[in-house]
Amino acid sequence: MNKYKAVICDLDGTLLNSDHTVSSYTKKVIEKIKNLGVKFFIATGRHHKDALAFKNILGLNSFLITSNGAKIHDENDKEIFSTNIPKELAKKIIELSVDSEIYRGIYKDDFWFIEKNIKGLDVFHKESGFSSIIKPFEELKNEDVTKFFFISEDCNKINELEKTLQSTFKDSLNITLSFENCLEIVQKGVSKGCAIEKILKEENISTEEALAFGDGLNDLDMLKTVGKGFLMGNSHKELIKRLPEHEVIDTNNNDGVAKHLEKIFL
């Protein structure tokens, strides 16, 4: 009998292919896994409303971890955990001067705010239909927010921004790269790994009885938290470097997660 009772999976670059969709093969494998009684959880940096569409597409009856662990919703889509960046800190990030080629986004409550249209971002959300709202960030300066993200076509500019943010806010914020060109910020102490510990406790499943799949640096602690963590073949190079003992499987475009689940459970 297989000792694993739970699977936790990232979305972009992991479960989703480059078209940001779930293949029919992957859907079939997950359905078979569910029928064996194995719990399947999504843990993503995406907004809850965005990720919910994929939970529904996969027919999952499980907890949903979003915004890198800042939000957890239960099987019935009720919010059971939420941690925001306090307004004093959020104000400092909004007031931070950034390069004009870096775009900024904010998740707050049920909304996703941007300052101007970000070219190519809509393709990520065609499956879910979740869309952003253009709003001057000045109007959000006195409010707490769930997550900030910074995105640019120039990875070097994102790397420089990360250094600046880490030197200023590392003691009060969790700052991670989800992609080489995307930097994400949540409150300190918030992470996918911490959220996983919470939901597994609720399910009476030990971390040793869980598997996880990821590709970005925001998946690092998640992959270390579970009994067995797998890196996608398309993973961020720094993630592979930091987890040398973890197995690297096939890429997201080659149904790496589904193939490996089939190998383990079926």
Residue 143: DSSP 8-state: S
Catalytic residue list: 10
> How crowded is residue 159: how many other Cβ atoms within 10 Å of its Cβ?
14
Q: Which residue has the tokens 């997950």?
A: 30
> How crowded is residue 1: how many other Cβ atoms within 10 Å of its Cβ?
2
- Collapsing DSSP to helix, strand or coil, 43 comes out as strand
- Collapsing DSSP to helix, strand or coil, 98 comes out as coil
Helix, strand, coil % in the chain, rounded to nearest 5: 40, 25, 40
Distance of alpha carbon 119 from alpha carbon 127, whole angstroms: 17
Roughly how many angstroms between the first and final C-alpha of the chain, as a whole number? 11
In this structure, which long-range contacts are made by residues 76-84, counting pairs with CB atoms below 8 Å and at least 24 apart in sequence?
77/52, 79/48, 81/195, 81/198, 82/146, 83/186, 83/187, 83/189, 83/190, 84/108, 84/144, 84/145, 84/146, 84/187
Residue-wise burial string across 78-99, b where 16 or more C-beta atoms lie within 10 A, e elsewhere:
eeebebbbeeebbbebbeeebe
- Residues with Cβ within 8 Å of 177's Cβ and at least 6 positions away in sequence, in order, are 158, 162, 183, 184, 216, 217, 218, 236, 238
